[in-house]
Amino acid sequence: MTLITDPTLHDRLMALAERQAAAGEVRGPAAADPVNVPMIRHWADAMGDANPLYTDAEAAAASVHGGIVAPPAMIQVWTMPGVNRRAGQRPTPVDEVLAMLDGNGYTGVVATNCEQTYHRYLRPGERPVPATRFAGLTGPKRTALGEGYFVTWNVTWYCEEEPVAEMLFRVLKFRPRTGRAASGTQDGRAREQEAGARRDSGAGEGPAGARPDSGAEEAPAGARPPYPLRPAVNEDTAFFWEGAARGELRIQKCADCGQLRHPPGPMCPSCRSAARTYAVASGQGEVYSYVVHHHPPVPGRQAPFVVAVVELPEGVRIVGNVVDCPPSEVGIGMPLRVTYRQMDDELVLPMWIPRES
């Protein structure tokens, strides 16, 4: 089957995506029913979760919670609209994007990411309100399933004005291939999850149209997605990124006075010379300071992740990720050595791994 592609489609999709993103957070209707024990009981039963906190009033009362609480993973359950959407329900910012993709042959759907964060337990009687924020549209990508677009959105559930849970959800909307079984490999970090049977009111999840048995061969075509974020580069900084692509950690060196400098710039602050060269660093360093990022989610990154200010023996500092090391083992003074990570077909980032001192 050959689909005639409307040459303006991509631009229209991106323009729509930008508008939807600009709309910010859009609240959906509150849960149809308040958090209640019968639904908790059915869910816990189906999931095989025998935790008495969820169903046994007496045991729950004796716990730190002082009463029954809902399983945090039920958060989507409370605001799912069921098979038929309620009349007059306000659309989420995601719906129009999915509809445009559907209408242009991207009828397949596979959920690729679902990351939930629970801020606290819900109690019977509470009625969470979902608020959906359109986070991004990237593509077209050639994948084993067919050409498609990744659609990402965030949902925050509120009780009163308090955010109680958050979710990042991403689907691949694709044009199903014909004649060949879909196969491929998926980014190991992406947790595969089948999309809900029908759209969730708050989350706007797409209908499940395909098995999530394969994923994306990252092969971007057309517009470049926003993530991984790439550095802005100009004539003062290009040498650094070209070096990273070749596996060299380049530090700007004044061609006149020899001073090393990072981050680089067009003029030597010591001697005013604009003549520059670079030194290739030894690739050793140690942690000068670091953070462990947990929240909010950074697209393209799996939290927790570590970012460090690394001090080089050459006498400059540089920022980078510490990888291949549990965050809890990172500390100031930890010896590191540089490594390089290919972020996509173009971007290579220097990163840091522990080194025997």
> Cα(231)–Cα(312) distance, rounded to whole angstroms?
21
Give the nearest distance from C-beta 352 to another protein in angstroms.
10
CB nearer to another protein: give 317 or 355: 317
> Cα(350)–Cα(340) distance, rounded to whole angstroms?
5
Backbone phi, psi, residue 52, to 5°: -65, -15
Does 142 contact another protein by CB under 8 A? no
Does 228 contact another protein by CB under 8 A? yes
Among 263, 313, 315, 335, binds another protein (CB under 8 A): 263
Give the nearest distance from C-beta 25 to another protein in angstroms.
7
Q: Are the CB atoms for 110 and 145 separated by under 8 Å?
A: yes
Does 296 contact another protein by CB under 8 A? yes
Give residue for tokens 């926003």.
226
Contact set for another protein, span 39-98 (CB under 8 A) = none
Give the nearest distance from C-beta 13 to another protein in angstroms.
17
Q: Are the CB atoms for 26 and 235 separated by under 8 Å?
A: no
The helix/strand/coil state of 43 is: helix
Does 190 contact another protein by CB under 8 A? no
Does 291 contact another protein by CB under 8 A? yes
Query: Nearest CA to 169 among 178, 188, 156?
Result: 156
Give the nearest distance from C-beta 94 to another protein in angstroms.
17
Give the nearest distance from C-beta 230 to another protein in angstroms.
6
Query: Is omega for the bond preceding 263 within 30 degrees of 0, making it cis?
Result: yes
> Cα(148)–Cα(112) distance, rounded to whole angstroms?
12
Angle subtended by helix axes 9-22 and 95-103, to nearest 10: 170
CB nearer to another protein: give 106 or 240: 240
> Cα(254)–Cα(42) distance, rounded to whole angstroms?
70
CB atoms within 10 A of CB 162: 10
Q: What is the distance between the terminal CA atoms of the chain, rounded to a whole angstrom?
A: 60
User: In the sheet that 146-159 helps form, which strands lie side by side, from edge to edge?
Assistant: 25-27, 129-143, 146-159, 162-174, 108-118
Give the nearest distance from C-beta 309 to another protein in angstroms.
5
Does 292 contact another protein by CB under 8 A? yes
Give the nearest distance from C-beta 262 to another protein in angstroms.
7
Contact set for another protein, span 334-353 (CB under 8 A) = 343, 347, 349, 351
Does 315 contact another protein by CB under 8 A? no
Give the nearest distance from C-beta 95 to another protein in angstroms.
21
* Stretch binding another protein (CB under 8 A), from 30-38, 104-112, 172-180, 300-308: 300-308
Among 294, 313, 335, 342, binds another protein (CB under 8 A): 294
Does 115 contact another protein by CB under 8 A? no
CB nearer to another protein: give 42 or 224: 224
Does 230 contact another protein by CB under 8 A? yes
Q: Which two tokens stand for residue 61?
A: 């009362």
CB-based burial label for 35 (10 Å; 0-12, 13-18, 19+): buried
Total binding residues toward another protein, as defined by CB under 8 A: 48
Beta strand 260-261 pairing with 335-342: unpaired
* Stretch binding another protein (CB under 8 A), from 54-62, 76-84, 122-130, 293-301: 293-301
Helix then strand then coil, % of the chain, to nearest 5: 15, 30, 55
Backbone phi, psi, residue 309, to 5°: -90, 120
Among 30, 141, 321, 338, binds another protein (CB under 8 A): 321
CB nearer to another protein: give 8 or 234: 234
Interface with another protein by CB under 8 A: which residues?
24-25, 119, 136, 161, 226-234, 236-237, 262-263, 288-301, 304-305, 307, 309, 316-321, 327, 332, 343, 347, 349, 351
